[in-house]
Amino acid sequence: MCSARSEKLFGYTGKLLRVNLSEEKVLVEETDTKVLRQYLGGVGYGAKLLYAEIPRGIDPLGSENKLIFTTGPMTGTMAPGAGFAEVCCKSPLTDVWCEAKCGGEWGGTLRKAGYDFLVIEGKAKRPKYIVINNGKVEIKSATRLKSKTVSQKNELIKKEIKDEKFETAVIGPAGESLVRFANIMVGGRAFGRCGAGAVMGSKNLLAIAVKGNGNIPVAEPERFRKAVRAGNKKVLDATNGEGMAPGGTTGDIPSCDGLGDIPTKNWRSNSWGKGEELYAHFENANLLRANSCYKGCVLRCGRIARVESGKWKTPVHEGSEYESICAFTFFVLNDDMDAAVHATYLCNEYGLDTISTGGVIAFAMDCYEQGIIYREETDGLALSWGDAETIVELVRRIANRQGIGGILGEGTRRASQQIGKGSEMLAMEVKGLEGPAHDGRSGKALAIMYGTANRGMCHIHPLEGMAYDSLKNDFGLVPFGAPDPETIGNHSEEGKGKITKLLQDFGILPDILGICKFYVYNGLHLPELAELISSLTGWDIDEAELLNIGERVYNLQRMFNAREGVRRKDDYIPERARQIPEFGEHSSVEECEIKEYDQMLDEYYEARSWNKETGVPTKEKLQQLGLGALAKL
């Protein structure tokens, strides 16, 4: 993608760095201003590149797949929550669209080094890592990094480069062993969920270190500064001036348990009743302090934790956020919080996605209980619910693909296909992605979101439906057509398809712009985003255009999936995730049952102007979004 630029570009470096590992070639390209104007950046520009550059049906772990690191126009600027980069590729876990977001300094540093986007293609013959030092790019031998954990790799790289100022994105042993849900790690934060770490491993690329001293040009600096101040004030006011520092996301465990929002025992229930007790232990024994993933954050959701002594002694580290802790407690009925903290720490060191790891272990325990797998097939491990030692041991085996870890490292869907014997009914996934720690039975917009999210059963890409349904967060969307959530029951099904469309078109914007999702949960709404992006880029972008860009990107990603064969049949949610919970506080609440999922899906397709039979965007819709050329798949 390259065109001569006739006018100065604000809000971007205007450069894309392309590294071909097969040929060890490095190329710098100018980005296309017209494409930037239509897609802005992040997962938008990433979708445009991926759709154009990889053919249908390729092997996600083959050299034809590309790893496309993207930033948004706000990444690395003063904008509220602007510490985010994304990576896009074809997922080895789902075989469809993969996007993964990561907070920290890495994305902003990439831009300060001079690049908005970094495309990795091909496959190195031997292990390599890439060093980007402002304009200079080197591909170096990574033989010494092989099989090392994430923190060991970071230490070795810093020693070798002899410069502490580099920011690193690395894979752990799980990425090297091609675990299909391996992450790319930036410190204690992750490009997580759909296996981008395995794609990086398949390219024999173990790390990318970046350092940069440049600046992002701002079109109207004073107006932008004012918009930044107003945005930060709004999110701080919305959180009583404290941000998310007091509880982070982990602090939501007791309330989500009470709401019936945490899948428990492989989704047999949506609550356990142990949320308060578990969190009390975490707060008293494990939590040291709040943390932020990058310097400018005013919300500070991060948790610095440890296990001081005992069997699960664990060093001080960043992690233990809501999803990870739920995955190693509620999912698997483990009430040993120290063991859960240890398991999340190990996942970060091995470079494993915590949600998928907890999900696939819950699946295995369910199979064991149901007599689908036996001790002879588990290398002698009794996969009993809540057995902390087994859980931690399985994390290790999955990361290294040892014994039963080999099958489980394929992800729940593939594992159930290999195991057979009815285990498919216990596989809690959509499009191959394991479900996270929120439950659509307590807020039905989330159910339709799980079925239709482009990367699979994800709660946050693009947005948490239950935040609207159960927590009554309207995201400032009432003036744009969303019904006031206070007027809608969380268990009602009517209207949820329609609202999901709007929540998705809005919720994808932080992933396009390069900002943190928690800021849009706390007051950074369309008017604030429009003012920030307009003053940054000098382009006049209003709220309606932002929603239109969100819709365009969402449809382009859907077309990527449709080209890979995704149709209505793939927009399901697992049967168990629709049924009345088998036990727990909500087992007597009949309204938990999702009765008319197909009708909700019809309503969603209608709102999206997608064909109701196939689930493919109509030609008219594609044309309206400027995507008419994709109408012929």
Residues that bind ligand SF4 (CB under 6 A): 81, 83, 103, 244, 292-293, 297, 299-302, 516, 518
Contact yes or no for 537/11 (Cβ under 8 A): yes
Helix then strand then coil, % of the chain, to nearest 5: 40, 15, 45
Task: Count CB atoms within 10 A of the CB of residue 510.
Answer: 29
- What does 509-566 look like in DSSP terms, one character per residue? HHHHHT--HHHHHTT--HHHHHHHHHHHH-----HHHHHHHHHHHHHHHHHHHHHTT-
Report, in Å, the least distance between residue 516 CB and ligand SF4: 3
Report, in Å, the least distance between residue 134 CB and ligand SF4: 25
Q: What span, in angstroms and rounded, lies between the C-alpha atoms of 552 and 544?
A: 12
Report, in Å, the least distance between residue 506 CB and ligand SF4: 17
Based on CB atoms, which residue is closest to ligand SF4, 244 or 408? 244
Report, in Å, the least distance between residue 98 CB and ligand SF4: 20
Based on CB atoms, which residue is closest to ligand SF4, 9 or 82? 82
Task: Count CB atoms within 10 A of the CB of residue 155.
Answer: 12
Report, in Å, the least distance between residue 94 CB and ligand SF4: 24
Report, in Å, the least distance between residue 526 CB and ligand SF4: 19
> How is residue 19 written in tokens?
């590294």
Based on CB atoms, which residue is closest to ligand SF4, 74 or 533? 74
Report, in Å, the least distance between residue 352 CB and ligand SF4: 19
Based on CB atoms, which residue is closest to ligand SF4, 302 or 358? 302
Report, in Å, the least distance between residue 42 CB and ligand SF4: 15
> How is residue 94 written in tokens?
């789902």
Based on CB atoms, which residue is closest to ligand SF4, 516 or 616? 516
Contact yes or no for 174/203 (Cβ under 8 A): no
Q: Which has the closest alpha carbon to 16: 49, 47, 38?
A: 49
Report, in Å, the least distance between residue 462 CB and ligand SF4: 16
Based on CB atoms, which residue is closest to ligand SF4, 190 or 209? 190
Based on CB atoms, which residue is closest to ligand SF4, 250 or 292? 292
Position of tokens 């949610």? Answer: 573
Residue burial 387-421, b: 16+ Cβ < 10 Å; e: rest: bbebbbbbbebbbbbebbbbbbbbbbbbbbeebee
| Helix or strand run (H / E) with residue 16 | strand 15-20
Strand partners for 131: 138, 209
Q: What span, in angstroms and rounded, lies between the C-alpha atoms of 216 and 114?
A: 9
Based on CB atoms, which residue is closest to ligand SF4, 299 or 407? 299
Based on CB atoms, which residue is closest to ligand SF4, 267 or 519? 519
The amino acid present at 203, given as its one-letter code, is K
Q: What span, in angstroms and rounded, lies between the C-alpha atoms of 433 and 422?
A: 19
